Each structure stands twice: as structure tokens, then as C-alpha cells.
Chains A and B, each alone.
Chain A
Amino acid sequence: MLNRAPLFLLYLNVLVIAVCGLIYELLAGTIASYMLGDSVTQFSLVIGTYLSAMGVGAWLSRYIERNLAQSFVEIELALAFLGGFSAPVLFLAFPFVEWFRPLLLGMVFAVGVFVGLELPLLMRILKEHLDFSDLVSNVLAFDYVGALIASILFPLIFVPYLGLVRTSLVFGILNACVGLWSTFLLRPLLRPHHLWSLRLRSLMVLGLLIAGFLQAEKLTKLGEESSLGGKIVHAVSSPYQRIAFTSKRGGFQLFLNGHLQFNSTDEYRYHEALVHPAMIGLDAPQRVLVMGGGDGLAVREILKYPSVREIVLVDLDPAVTDLSKSFPPLLALNKSSLLDERVCVINQDAFVWINQATEPFDAVIIDFPDPGSFSIGKLYTTHFFRKLRNKIHTKSLISIQCTSPLVAPRSYWCIIRTLEEAGYQVKPFHASVPTFGVWGYALACQSEMTLDERRLPVPSDLRFLNTNNLSNLFTLPQDIRPLSPEINRLDNQALVRYYDEEWHGYDESP
């Protein structure tokens, strides 16, 4: 009967069980380190929880007195399900739950209890059929060998080639196979009417895990969608960033690396405030420079001035400007602005482009992303703003978006003071954009500006600004009081540090 089954197959079972158990533990430790940081603490907690849970499982095994073989198979299946889906569940849950760490450790504990139950049960099942001392030595030996294999293959093969989600599912599948296989191996010990029920359940778990594996790509996207807060309608990865369009409540949104750039329902407020105060202060502006703003929405506003003959748009990522020229919802929103023959698109890092000689511009619209990284922070430095002076004449006006003056007051005033340090007269202003809240901008000029001097009428087709409310933008409320933080220089990148501190915990920023 049972002792006719080749012994090595039994031990192979033990080996696979051991590998799966350790892989689940390593996955949990890695995910905890990725998501929560401080890898030493996370790994220590995970290992401690796991080992103690195994002890609990081993202790609990005494209470399983009958139907050992059936219990064993059921535990295998539970483990396959729980362990196999552990990584996808943790990834999906992370953006939603505040109690991520308890969830993670709870899963580790449950997996540990099941793993702790496995070997005592298996040994009790087999002790009737095999010499006990051989059994103990072989089972434990294979268990430890399995642990070694898992710990070597995990960092070298599984994480680099499969990724965490797929690794998790693959070992769930293996685990479920062990369950199914055990129904054959332990058949003499199973009651016939249980046998088919067990096999059916095995196949169901196996089927779910395989389906999960095949949909791993979508699971990853689902995780992203849940963190972006809308349904993804289009997403691409460029060498520079992850570009995602989502749709929510009648509008669509653009995210770059998970940071919201605009919401189609209220972006007109943001872009009208960014563009028009500069444009109407000029006498028939002809050449306009736009830096950042690859979505073409600022350009759409600039094209409302008939005097404009040429717009140069410098944006790092061709994937973004290409979408602006071809993705239908965006084309409808930016009114095909980048396809206008007056627009010249240059895909280059503005920091490098600024060194090239060009004719001077009458107006400059700066719509860079918020300074959340050093590679963007360099575009808000005294060095960059001084270089910009070579691109304009003394009366040219510059308009720049400067993040939220309410959420990030030091960041906002750091940009203002840096512009002043670089030799500009600066007028701070603000506008209200429902999606972002109160937003900060600044108008800068190399010579003295008088805001009353409006040379051009406000275009008639605006939705937010009119002649009356324009000057209100420049009246700062009580809660936007001037500060004097450090100047942002290439060699200190003070702005990135302010921004990081002030926006910590906020997700929605352009």
C-alpha cells in the first residue's frame, strides 16, 4: 500500500513544502522592505512572526486527531491559496489600507501556522509505515535542504526574472500541486467520498492560481489604478516616466509617475492663470517659449493671441508630446495645439537646451512638474534662471507654476526668492483649482513690472479669467504670507528637500 510508493516521492513532497514555506516568508519580508523601508526591522519582524507561528502550528497539530491525511491535504490547499495570493493581495491593499503592517504580519502568521502544521501531520501519517528514526532524519534533512534551495533561488532567479507577484503565484501553484499529488500518494488513507471532494477543491485552487498568474500583468495595473484613483484608459512607459490616463467622474486625468498633472474638468483654471497674466502684460508678443507643458494645454491658451508667430515648446519626453498630438481625448482637450504650424516641439532636457543660442522670447511659460526629484529641482535653481536671462529681453515676462503655497509654503517662497536672487523682479500670485486646491504661480521680469499696465485685452473666450478678477490673483490672502527660505542652488537643491518634507503624505500634485 503506502510503503509501495517510491520513498523519494514522499521526500520530494517535503522538499517542495519547505521551499514554498520559505518563499512565502521571503516574499513578505521583501514586500515589507519595499513598501515600508528599513529592511532590517521588516525582515526581523517577518522572520520572528513566521517562526513563532510555525511553533503555534506545531503545537496545534496535537488537536487534529482523526482524518490526518485529509487534514494534511486541506492544509496544503489553504497554504497554496493564502501564500500564492499573498504578494498580489499585499500590493493591491497597500494604497488603501492604513493597517498595512498588521495585514502583512497577519498573513505571515497564518502562513506560518499552516507550515508549522504540515510536518508534524506528515510525520504522524507516515510513522505507521516507515521506520521512525529514518523518517525523522529524512524529513528534517529534506526540509532544511528545501530552505537552502529557496533562499538561494529567491534573490538570484525568482525576484529578477519573475518579479514578486508571479513568484508568489508560481509557488502557490506548486503548493496546490503538492496537495493534489498527495491525494494520490495518500489515497489508501483517505476515505473514498472525501477523495473526490479533495481533488475537486485542489483543482479549483490550482485553477484560481493559474488564472491569477496569467493575469499578473493586469493585477499589477489594478494596483496602479487603485493608487491613481480612477480607471486607466491608456498607459505607456517611456524611458523617462510612467504615463497614465485615467477616467473618473466625467473627466480624464494625466498622471506622470503616479503624480497628477491635470484633470480635464478644471485644468482650464490652472492653465488660464498660468498663461494669461503674462501674455496680456505684453505688447503684441510674437515669440513664446514654453518649458514643460508637453500636454499642449498651455500652448492652447497662448494660441488665443493673434500676434503670436512662433511657440517653442521644450519638453523632455517625446512620449508625452506624441500623445498630445495623437491621443484623441487629449487632442480634443488641447484643441490640437501642438499640431499648429506655429509650434515647434523640442524634446530635450530644458537644463541642456538652455545653453543653446536662440533669438530672444517675448514671453516664457514654465510648466515643469513640481520639484519632487533632483533632476527636476535643477530646473528651479539660480543657475537655470540666470541662464534663462540669455533667452529673453529686458521687458519679457515669465510665468512659472510654483506648487501649492498652502501645502508647501517654504517650497513656494523658495522658488520666488530664487528668482529674485537670479536677478528678476517677481510678483507672486495664486489661483484656485478644485483638483489641486489653491495653487501658486509667479510672474517675473528683468525690469520693473506694473500690473496695471495691461497692453492686451483679456481674450473673450476664457472660462475662468475676466478683466475684473485678474488683479485678484495678485492679492495674496492672509494664509499665504511671504517667507525667506534658503535659495535653491545646484549645489544645495534646497527646494527638493523642502518639497519632500512639505508634500510628504500628499499624492495629488502636478
Chain B
Amino acid sequence: MHTPFVIYKISIALRREKVKYRILFHAKTQPICVNTLSKSIKTNLGELKKRLPSEDILTYEFETQDKTACAIVYADGIVNKQLLGDLIARPLSKLSLKSAENVEDEIKKTALFPELKIAEDFQKAMEEILDGNSLFLVDGVATGFIAGAKLLPNRAVIEPPTDVTVKGPREGFIEDIKTNMSLIRKRLKTPDLRFETVRVGKRSDTAVSVCWLHGIADEEVKKQITDKLNALQIDNVPDSSYIAALLSPRKHSIFRVIGTTEKPDIFTAKLAEGRVGILVDGSPIALTAPFLLAEDLQSSEDYFVSPFVATSIRFLRCIALFVAILLPAFYVSAQLFKMQLFPLGLMLTIASSVRDIPLSPSLEMFVVLLLLEILKEASIRMPKYVGMSLSVVGALVLGETAVSAGFLSTPAIIIVAFSGICLYTVPNFVETGSLLRWLFLLVAGSVGPFGIVLLGAFVLYYMLSSDCFGAPMLAPFSPLVPHDLRDSIVKYDMLSLKQRPRLFRSKNKTRLRVPNEEKTQGEN
């Protein structure tokens, strides 16, 4: 008799919640499946200890009234122990299991846990324990019971510091995906709101939830996103920015191709427009796709004020953005190549200011801009207590002293300061805007105003030829979608926005119906 030769190759796909096994064997005998839970609680606990040797994995052992051994395995610190004691250990310790006809049913009846699942294999059991749930084992039962007693440390739902509004909702997403999902569900109480969770990260096993409004979002975009997420092979996902970078079809783009928000009201509004959202466990920043550049010019407050005010604010942001990016470059190019750009009076003032400056205009601007960037970076990283000192050093010592020492000119500092302030009118564009400002400064110093125009044309051409998840970056301006211009730089009144943006190809086009409109108009 030849000895059966068994080869096991167990490949565990962690991505989906269902664990897949691929067992290859040559022999005629049945493979020995070491993965399923055994009836013996000792074997099970031993195997679990072997697989989860970490100190924070604890086991609480107790007995039922008829001395049947039971155990709860959990990860310390992320489980509600009181709940486990009250709803599982205490009722079960009073139970007699030997007389029960069906032990599993008896346990389910006794443990009045709202979230109780079954685990039949070690892999599933391990995943649940590591996810913060508890595994409840009973001797003589080859099934584990998963009690959803997760108690993860979470911060409160507060106003996000990066997205502050004067008027409008102040809730912000937090790091817990379940809380974030509930914040969305709170705002969209419709069965059409769908979540599809994908596990990403070989080590982190991070929950990434794709959400969309069924019948409104483009299913093709949703499929593209889930397909990409399923195909991701990464160790760890510390933040949603990882997912954004990995989903991006343009890896080397300096422009954002996926939208971000920390506010559930904005997130749900985008879902209602036909976008697809992505929530990542451990990140308060939610992602939305497709993303249009015009979104950066919009703010949630625009929808809570008069359309005239909103339009003027958006124009202001647009102008501020251009000023932020182009002003230092124009200042340098005007000094070096085209003095006519200045009015005579201003030209004389500038000439007298820069007369004794040892640096060339482009180098001077470079230095001031560098100072601004360093101060900005330092002020973000520096502890709050030192912040005041930084302001003093930055504004007074570096600025004032450098001017009085004749190292830098006042107009250069004014221009950079103004440019820096202007850039923050569009907070989501700060990084890109800052980079563009450097590029424009570089070409302005070398090729003059023509360089600025040329780089402008280059950037525009790059943007107009960029698509992400089927949406052109510069839409609705290029390609022109007249209907969607109503909520771009211009903001029409609410009654003019009855239909969803056409760019997202929603099947359900209407988002607002005013049934009594004609009647009311007639009465008036």
C-alpha cells in the first residue's frame, strides 16, 4: 500500500469577507482540513493560542451549570467586557446544556446578543477577534459564536478643522467607518443608499466601503472603483489618501483626480448628484468620484446663501486663485521683461523699493516664497505653544528686519503675503496651487510673460485632456455642458437646479419637483 501523498496549498483571499480555500491534492484520500473548528474546546483554544500568540488576545474560561466548559476569546482593549459578561457569560453560566436537544439553538436563545454570527473555521474566527469582536466557544460544539461587542476608542463627532462653515451643518466624519456610515444613513434614509465593503490591506485588513445611490450613480463608475479596490495588493492602508492615490488613473498628476470631504452633508450631496463615495476605516476623509476641478471652487455654504451671494463668492475665489498663482510670476516678469504692466506711479514706487536690493527680482521672489512655504510648513507641524513665537519670528524678525536690512523689498513681501492669503480661499487647492505658483515663477523669471502664458496654455491643455472615471477634469467648461454650468462658477437658484448634473449620466435625472409651481405662479 502506498502512503497517501497529500499536498496542501491554502491560499487565503483576505479581500472579500468570505474566505476562500484552494486545496490541491494528489491523493485519493480526503484532505485533512486543519482549518475547521473542532468539538473539543481544548483543541480549539490551543489552536487559537498557536495562531494568535499575542499578549493582548485574552481568553475568559467559565462553566455552565452542568459543568460544560465555555470560553470567550477576545482582543483586550477593544471589546466591551461588561456587555460580554452581562449578555453571554452570566446567562450561560446558569444554563444546562446537556439536557438541551439542540445546543446551538439553545445558546442562541440564551445569549441575547443583537449581533451574533457563526464561525466554523479558525480563519473566520481569527479575523473577527482581530476586528474587535469576541469568539464564544462551547465544549462539544464545533461552531464558534461571534459576538459583536466591539468597543473601539473613538473621538466625538465634531466640526472638522479643515472644513469650517459659518452657516450649515457642523458634523464631521471621524476615524470609525461604522460611525461615518451611520452619519450618511442619517441623512439618506433611502433603500437606494448602498454600501459595499471591500477588505483592503494584507496586514491591516482595512474595511473600505464604497457607497452610492442606486439608480442615481453611474453603475459603471461604481464597478470600476470596486474592481480596482478588489485588485489592490497593499500591506497597510493608514488613510484614505492611500486609496485615492491607488485608484487614481493618473499617477503623476499634480491635480487631484478624486474628491475629498470631511463633512457628511457635502458627501451625501455629492452622492445625490450621482457620484460614488468611498469611506475608509481609520480615516475621517471620505473620497468621492468622479471629481471635477470646479468642485474646489464650491463650498457647502454656497447652497445656504442667496445665489447672487454664492456666485459673487465663487467669482471671488476664482480671482483669488488666479492672483495666488500668477501674481508673484507677473511681478517678476514685469520687472524683468515688461515694465509696461505696471502703471507709472506703481512702477516708480517699485523702482525706488528695489533699487538697493542685492538680489535679482526672480531670486528675491524665490527667497520670499521659500520663506512663506517654510513658515507655513513649520506652523502646521509646530506645537501650539510655540505657534506664537513662530508668528513673531516669521512676521517681525524675518519680514520686518529683512526689509529694513535692505535684503528684501517691501513689494515682494506684500505680493507673496497677498498671494499666500489668496490661495487659502480655495483650501482644497492649496498644495496644487503652491506647486503651480513655483512653476509659474520659474518660467516668469526665465521666459517672462510669454512663459506664463505658455505654461498657462500647457496646464489648460493638460487639464482639458484629463479624464477620471469618465468625467473630464475641466467639465462643465470643457467639454461644455451648458446645463451643468448652473452650478459651477455661477450658482443658480435652487429651483433652476431641478435636474442632476448631466455629466454623471444618472438614469434618474430629476432631483427637485415643485408640484404647485404653476399654481403658485398663476395666483401671483
Bind each other: no
Residues of B within 8 A of A (CB): none
